[in-house]
Amino acid sequence: MILLKGAEVSSKLKAEVTAVVSAMEGHIPTAAIVRVGERPDDLSYERNAMKKIASFGMEARSFVFPEHISEEEFEREFRAINENPEIDGILLFRPLPSQIDSRLPERMIDPRKDLDGISPINSAKIFAGEKDGFAPCTAEAVMEILKAYEIDPAGKRVVVIGRSMVVGRPLSMLLLNANATVTICHTRTKDLRAVCREADILVAAAGKVGMVTAEDVLPGTVVIDVGINVDENGKLCGDVKWDGIEDVASAATPVPGGVGSVTTAVLAKHLCMAAARR
Ligand code: NAD
């Protein structure tokens, strides 16, 4: 079984991005990373994103607001970041606290600065198969892994478990745009195992520890594990139970070290694209 390593995909993206950045004649693409509150997940993602953007030769500025910020004040602050000409791209951590309507930043964000594809304009572009939209970074990270390992989804049966706006849905559209035959599964899917066993490529993005096992996988399947969970021992793990997977799958992504590490590289790539387009 081939281990699909995120680090290798990330270094390929780094080479592409640094070449474009060095041709920008002194302009350093700059991201705003916007966080409300102190959620540990956000803090950890923020650290990784800042590190990755710096290692790709670009800049990231962090904007932090208190958990209890009012909707009006958040709107004012977010508008200022959005309109700041020094900012090429924005990453906003979500979910936001309940006093802020999540649709507010989704509709406000300049689609050209929307690094994680939260604007309905970018969703529509991904849906329509237009090339100049920004997809959510995690969905695109899966596509980058397939591309880097020369796994062409065209004509293949791909099963995606999960239908969220962050992963499952946009990823299904990207796969469809790449000519895959896509089945989207969710909590109401009947006989999930039978559906999984039809897959040439199986993507687990449910956020459920060990929900995909070797029995869900037919010999030769490519298994992509998007899940980032914590098991009962406090260890980071995906949605795929690893025991026995090596014996059936032809290739699989590890957790950690798989999709997650490519997600921040795609974020950096989007920042470079956003700056280049401006
Ligand atoms: P979500 O909770 O919004 O969506 C989960 C989806 O999975 C839902 O559509 C649900 O219908 C489906 N689902 C849940 N349990 C299921 C089951 N038993 N059978 C079939 N379908 C089921 O989660 P999300 O934001 O899409 O994230 C999914 C996972 O991906 C999480 O573990 C999350 O931490 C991880 N994630 C990873 C990255 C990354 O960079 N690798 C980024 C975002 C999310």
* Percentage of the residues of the chain whose pLDDT score is greater than 70: 100
List all residues 6 or more positions away from 204 whose beta carbon is below 8 Å from its beta carbon.
Answer: 161, 162, 211, 212, 223, 224, 225, 226, 227, 238, 239, 240
What is the per-residue pLDDT for 278?
Answer: 87
Strands in 251-252's sheet, in edge-to-edge order, are 2-3, 251-252, 222-225, 201-204, 157-161, 181-185
Q: Which protein residue's CA is at the shortest distance from atom 6 of ligand 1?
A: 162
* Percentage of the residues of the chain whose pLDDT score is greater than 90: 99
What is the per-residue pLDDT for 154?
Answer: 98
Give the Cβ contact number of residue 242 at 10 Å.
17
| Mean residue pLDDT across the chain | 97
List helix spans (H) across the chain. 6-22, 40-55, 71-83, 103-108, 120-128, 137-148, 168-177, 192-196, 245-248, 259-277
41 CA → ligand 1 middle, Å: 15
The answer to whether the Cα torsion of 43, 45, 46, 48 is positive or negative is positive
Residue 160 binned pLDDT confidence (cut-offs 50, 70, 90): very high
How many secondary structure helices (H) and strands (E) does the chain include?
10, 11
171 CA → ligand 1 middle, Å: 12
Q: What is the mean pLDDT of residues 209-238?
A: 96
Q: Which protein residue's CA is at the shortest distance from atom 42 of ligand 1?
A: 138
Structure pTM? 0.98
**pLDDT single digits (tens) 101-113:** 999 999 999 999 9
Q: Which protein residue's CA is at the shortest distance from atom 35 of ligand 1?
A: 227
What is the per-residue pLDDT for 253?
Answer: 98
What is the per-residue pLDDT for 171?
Answer: 98
227 CA → ligand 1 middle, Å: 6
Is 57 annotated as a binding-site member?
A: no
**pLDDT single digits (tens) 20-72:** 999 998 899 999 999 999 999 999 999 999 999 999 999 999 999 999 999 99
Q: Please give the Cα distance from 61 to 67 (Å, whole number).
A: 19
Quick one: which of 252, 243, 244 has its CA closest to 199?
252
